Structures are given as structure tokens and as C-alpha cells.
Amino acid sequence: MKKKILILAAVMLISLLAACAKPTAQPQPVNNEKNEKNNEEAIDVLVVGGGGAGMVAGITAAENGSKVIIVEKMPMLGGNTIISATGITASDTDLHKQAGIPFTVEDHIKKTMETGKNLPDEKLVRILAESSNDAYQWLVSLGLKYKLDEKEPWWIIPVEGHYGRQLFDAYNKKVEELGDKIEIRLDTKATELIVEGDKVVGAKVVGKDGKEIIIKANAVVMATGGFGNAPELIGEYNPKYAGAHNIMSTAGPTGEGFKMAVAVGAGTRDMEHHQMRPLATPGYWIRETVINEEGLGGILVNASAVRFTNETLKPLELVPEILKQQDRIAYVVFDSEVAATKNGTSAIKNGKMIEAATIEELAEKLGLDAAKLRETVDKYNEGTDEFGRSTMGKVTVGPFYGVKVAPSSHYTMAGITINENAQVTNEAGEPIPGLYAAGEVVGGLYGAGRIAGNNTLDDIVFGKIAGKNASAK
Ligand code: ADP
């Protein structure tokens, strides 16, 4: 299975590369001090990670007069931000005023705190919400066009097109405009932070040629993302998710930056919280409602074509149930009535579900035992349930749909601690001089739950704060 998951990840990576086919800004070499003999360079600000937070931090530091190097370990920029297909959360924008749909800063704070079960650091949440209109306006100033999702008025989504890709087109343009103030080094991985006295003064990095160099900097910004592609770290902190898959993540977010920061004394928080999706397919997660509230009739079976749980458990409770099954996977199966719902239609299209005229044909296409799946569906349709499911529906009206799903990381709530200045803090809450952080590597904004779109907002808000403060001399 692991092999298959790796293949899936490779397929995702290839499609991502294709998605990024539009060339990124040609990295311009920054005129930095180079000491070839010692394999050492010096720069004002070193940003580690070229996802959403790193790009914003790097651009902001350069706009504030610093010479900047962004190191990105992958052959392209983007991280998990570039695959974000949705939008940004912001409050009190002109879009809200025009639509006459209020979503105030106070609403924003309240909703973020409540969704996080009051675990988030309210000081950080307040900054996030209060800066959200500026963040949105900044995107508009970069030429991006948005509209309000009137059903969920915290959502601001592109008028058309793909949110993440548009962001990177805009960021690349900005990098180009900044010329030699900012250099992007792809295929370059930071491996260790360098500390002198109590101050972080740079990092060791390894380029494509495998050569290690030291980049000294007045300040380092960690923007290395979460644990999306680090299932072992997810399992270490959340044993109930041990064995999680990684099919929703790009390859880069492997938790290295988190470990590097912890190694120099960074505090951590909310480590026992990780947003998982039980019904993930490569690059997409099927809304759980297709097998519970909305669809009623959907079921989950394991590789033996047998039901194994109450499908209406909460998503985070469903995850360990699936992880206990053979290969730690399951199959979503539903009929044409569920298919007709909004989330059913989306699951079929985006989750690449397989269609078949009969249950037996579906089983064959999914590689399951046809007689067993027939038996399982018939038993379910009788309406008695050994798992305590109370919303029993029926899987009776063809065509039928099914797909393999693998519980995967959606978002890393945990992370290193920062203060209002985006300075990384130690366990005692004191800033570590020279070290800043922004984005998914940071903990403290979400706690036990997250409203969608706040994460792409926090990349911008705390990326800007980190970039500005890192460039202060
Ligand atoms: P965020 O939204 O916080 O910016 P992303 O997932 O979008 O998170 O981006 C994080 C980026 O950091 C990814 O592109 C990933 O490849 C990069 N990265 C992770 N670890 C390192 C490292 N050790 N050195 C350089 N880049 C890294």
C-alpha cells in the first residue's frame, strides 16, 4: 500500500509540476557577500520555504529594504498553498459592504475562537482578523479579483480560476519587480539553524549539487509549512492517527523546519491537534456528508468489502476506524441518490469516483469481491446495523459509485510558538533573537478546529509581519 501511496504522491507531484508549468520568476542572483573559501554567504534576511508564507515574508522583507534569499527545497515554489483551490477568509471588506452581508472583525475573531474550541491564542487571532481586510486589499492591489461566497460570508473566492495558482502568478511577478533584492534558490534545503550566543544567525543549506553552504543572515524566517507529508510526525504526536497517509499534500511539507526550530529552543503548542480527512483521495477530500447527513445512503467498506463502523461518526473519529483496516484504507460506496447531492456530484468529479451499473460491476472495478459487496449492501439495505448508525439509508438506485479513500492530513494545527511580532518564542514565551516564523509551521491560531480560508490569510498576515520585522535593522 505504501508503494501505491508513493505512486499516488508521485502522480500528484507530476500534476503539480504540470500545473506550475507557467514559469516562475527567473531567480536573480542577489549581490550578496560570498566567501567561497569558507563556503559561507551573508544576506540580510534568509527565508526558509517558498510556499505562501515564505513568499509573502520574502517580498515584504525586500520591500522594506533588505536583501533576501528564499530557499525552497523542491524544484518549484508553491508548497501546499499552490494547491489551495478555494480562497481567503477576511472580515469587514468592501465585498461585505457591497453585498450587505456583515462579517465583522469581531465575528471573525469569535468564529475562529469557537471553531478552535477556544484553544487559539486570542492575541494572534485578533491580529489575524484585524489585518484581514488589508491582506485582501493587498491581493487586490496585485491584480487579483475576488467575490464573496454569499452562503458563507467569511469566504472570499476568486471571480474565476484557481486561487493558489493565481497567488503564485502574482507573487512571481512581484519577485520579478523586486529584481536583485530577492533571490529564490530552488532545490535548496535548509538543514540546520546556526546559533551564536542566544541569536539565530543563519542556516546550513544544501543545494542541488549536494554541497552544504552556510548562509549567514541578520534574521531567518521559518516558513516551512506543516506535517502534510510527514505521517510519522503526525503519528508521533497523535498516536490515534498513526499510519496516516499523505495523499492530499505536496511533497515538501515534511516537518523539517519545525524540527530545526525546536532544536534551537522553539516552544510548541497544540501538538495533539491535527486536522485529518478520513475520506481523502489524491489531492481531494470527499466531504464526509456523502456518507452521513446529506446522502444518508452512503457506506464505507474495507478491502474485504465489509462494513466496519458507524459511518456517521465525526470525521476525526472515523480516521482511526479506517486506519485499523487492512492497508489502512476504505472504499466509499453510494448510489445515484447520493450522487445527485452537491457533495455527491463533487465527490464523483473531483474524487474521481468509479461508476458502474450494478453493485457487482462496481466491486469488480474497485478490485473488491463482488459477492461480498452485494451481501454487505443487501444487509445494509435491510436497515439493521450492528454499529449503532441511526441514519440508515439505502444503496439501491443505480448507477452506483465507489472509490478508495485513505485518511490523510489536511492541516497541521500544531506548531512552533510565535508572539505578535512573528518572533519565534521559547517554552518560556521569550523571543529567540533572529528567528521569525509564519504559516503552517506555526501553532496557536487554530487549536482544535479551523475555519477554511483563515490559513491562506495567516500566510499573508504573519508573512508580512515576519518579513517586516526580520528586515528591521
Ligand atoms: P505555508 O502555507 O506555511 O507557506 P506551504 O506548504 O505552502 O506552507 O509551503 C512550505 C514550503 O516550505 C514548501 O514549499 C516546502 O517544500 C518548503 N520547505 C519545507 N522544508 C524545507 C526546508 N528544510 N528547506 C527549504 N524549504 C523547505
**At 427, which CATH number?**
3.50.50.60
Q: Are residues 288 and 267 in the same domain?
A: no
pLDDT at 37: 53
Q: Is residue 13 predicted with pLDDT exceeding 70? A: no
76 CA to centre of ligand 1 in angstroms: 11
Question: Average pLDDT, whole number, for the chain?
Answer: 91
**Domain region containing 291:** 280-406
Q: Are residues 155 and 80 in the same domain?
A: yes
Q: Are residues 128 and 182 in the same domain?
A: yes
363 CA to centre of ligand 1 in angstroms: 39
Q: Are residues 306 and 401 in the same domain?
A: yes
254 CA to centre of ligand 1 in angstroms: 8
Atom of ligand 1 nearest to the CA of 463: 4
Could you read off the pLDDT of 203-212 as tens digits, one per residue? 999 999 999 9
Average pLDDT over residues 319-331: 97
Find the residues whose C-beta lies inside 6 A of ligand 1: 48-54, 71-74, 79-81, 189-190, 223-225, 252-253, 256-257, 439-441, 459
What band does 295 get if pLDDT is binned at 50, 70 and 90? confident
Q: Is residue 236 predicted with pLDDT exceeding 80? A: yes
Average pLDDT over residues 368-391: 94
Pocket test for ligand 1, best of 167, 220, 224 (most atoms within 8 A of CB): 224
Q: How far apart are CA 125 and CA 363, in angstroms?
A: 47
Average pLDDT over residues 163-169: 97
Asked whether residue 30 is assigned to any structural domain, the reply reads no
Nearest-5° Cα angle at 6, 4 to 7: 65
Asked whether residue 62 is assigned to any structural domain, the reply reads yes
Q: Helices then strands (H, E): number in the chain?
A: 15, 22
The domain that contains 331 carries what CATH number? 3.90.700.10
What percentage of the chain has pLDDT greater than the value 70? 92
Q: Is residue 313 predicted with pLDDT exceeding 60? A: yes
Average pLDDT over residues 70-95: 96
Asked whether residue 2 is assigned to any structural domain, the reply reads no
What band does 283 get if pLDDT is binned at 50, 70 and 90? confident
Q: How far apart are CA 91 and CA 93, in angstroms?
A: 6
Q: Are residues 293 and 261 in the same domain?
A: no
Sign of CA dihedral 34, 39, 45, 48: positive
pLDDT at 38: 65
Residue where a domain stops, chosen among 357, 389, 406: 406
What percentage of the chain has pLDDT greater than the value 90? 86
Judge whether 362 and 398 are in contact, CB under 8 Å. no
Average pLDDT over residues 361-366: 98
What is the Cα 157 distance to its own chain's centre?
17
Number of structural domains in the chain? 2
250 CA to centre of ligand 1 in angstroms: 10
Pocket test for ligand 1, best of 12, 73, 458 (most atoms within 8 A of CB): 73
Q: Are residues 100 and 120 in the same domain?
A: yes
72 CA to centre of ligand 1 in angstroms: 7
Residue where a domain stops, chosen among 406, 425, 448: 406
Average pLDDT over residues 114-127: 97
Q: Is residue 461 predicted with pLDDT exceeding 50? A: yes
455 CA to centre of ligand 1 in angstroms: 14
Atom of ligand 1 nearest to the CA of 77: 14
Q: How far apart are CA 445 and CA 283, in angstroms?
A: 24
Average pLDDT over residues 396-408: 97
